[in-house]
Amino acid sequence: MSRIQSTFATLKANNKKALIPYITAGDPHPKFTVELMHAMVKSGADIIELGVPFSDPMADGPVIQRASERALVHKVGLRKVLALVKEFRLDDDNTPVVIMGYANPIEAMGIATFAASAKESGVDGVLTVDYPPEECEGFIAELNKHDIDSIFLLSPTTEVKRIDLVVKQATGFLYYVSLKGVTGAANLDVEEVKTRVANIRKQTSLPVGVGFGVKDAATAKSVAAFADAVVVGSRTVLTIEQSSEETLVANISALIEELRSAID
């Protein structure tokens, strides 16, 4: 059983929902990334989603794009991100880490080299934003070879037939994008998301996480009422942006604790 599967199994047994915070690796400086990851786990994160900085993050909003820009100043590329995960693993062998990013850095490294290196670093899942299932059969085969989960997005506009196609390829969990738009966009309509998630469940037994637009504890709480996981991205990144180097870790810990108690 993969780390992601056993995490969801344990949560389910305890009647709890997963909290998945996102940060961009290397933001605001690579020296903070591992410390932030540990702090988030300590404050109640179940899975860490780690963004790979990219020069052209088309599916992200301005908040996460700025995080990429801050990290790229320090030349944090995919290899460095994997090295950070490896460093995290020295002190944490339980918490799943999902890498989220764009196809080009992976292709620049080579898909086989990436998959082997990701496994070796302790990565559990990979979400490649601009790899729809039709375009990444070879990549998924590489991930499967190393027992790395392939996380896929589903959106409000994904039709029933297409959900079938996606869930056939997906492992670990599904990530439902709760609104039309980019990361960090407007507030989500909880009732609509609830209906959508219920429909997705008719087609898969995989856990379903909800993200894009979870901006505060109240939204996190209402989403946790029906989803298996709550993904919080732009909100965490914004907290990093608004913190000084001294307050960074404390502010992120406080935010995660607040979200944790809201969804419990």
Closer CB to other proteins, residue 166 or residue 262? 166
CB 206 within 8 A of CB 185: no
Distance of closest approach, residue 164 Cβ to other proteins, in angstroms: 14
Burial environment of residue 14 by CB neighbours within 10 A (0 to 12, 13 to 18, 19 or more)? exposed
Residues within window 223-242 making contact with other proteins, judged by CB under 8 A: none
Q: Which of the stretches 126-134, 196-204, 228-236, 251-259 binds other proteins when contact is defined by CB under 8 A? A: 126-134
**Are residues 172 and 3 in contact, defined by beta-carbon separation less than 8 angstroms?**
no
Catalytic residue among 27, 46, 60, 124: 60
Figure out which of the listed residues 74, 79, 119, 201 binds other proteins, where binding follows CB under 8 A: 79
What's the burial of 137, exposed, middle or buried (CB within 10 Å: 0-12/13-18/19+)?
Answer: exposed
Tokens of 253: 């810990």
> Which residue in the set 31, 42, 75, 168 belongs to the binding site for other proteins (CB under 8 A)?
75
39 or 177: whose CB is closer to other proteins? 177
Q: Which stretch binds other proteins (CB under 8 A): 31-39, 58-66, 86-94, 138-146?
A: 58-66
Q: Which of 44, 109, 119, 238 binds other proteins (CB under 8 A)?
A: 109
DSSP 6-67: HHHHHHHHTT--EEEEEEETTSS-HHHHHHHHHHHHHTT-SSEEEEPP-S--TTS-HHHHHH
Please confirm, yes or no, whether 27 is among the known catalytic residues.
no
Residues 196-215 that bind other proteins (CB under 8 A): none
Name the segment binding other proteins (CB under 8 A); options: 62-70, 92-100, 200-208, 217-225.
62-70
74 touching other proteins, by CB under 8 A: no
Residue 139 Cα distances to 100, 106, 145, 150, 247, angstroms: 14, 10, 10, 9, 39
Q: Which DSSP category does 243 fall into?
A: S
103 is a site residue for other proteins (CB under 8 A): yes
Q: Is 29 left (phi over 0), alpha (psi -120 to 50) or beta?
A: beta
**Residue 105 interacts with other proteins (CB under 8 A): yes or no:** yes
Report the catalytic residues.
49, 60
Binding site for other proteins (CB under 8 A): 53-59, 61-62, 65, 69, 72, 75, 77-79, 102-109, 129-132, 134-135, 152-155, 157-159, 162, 166, 177, 180-182, 185
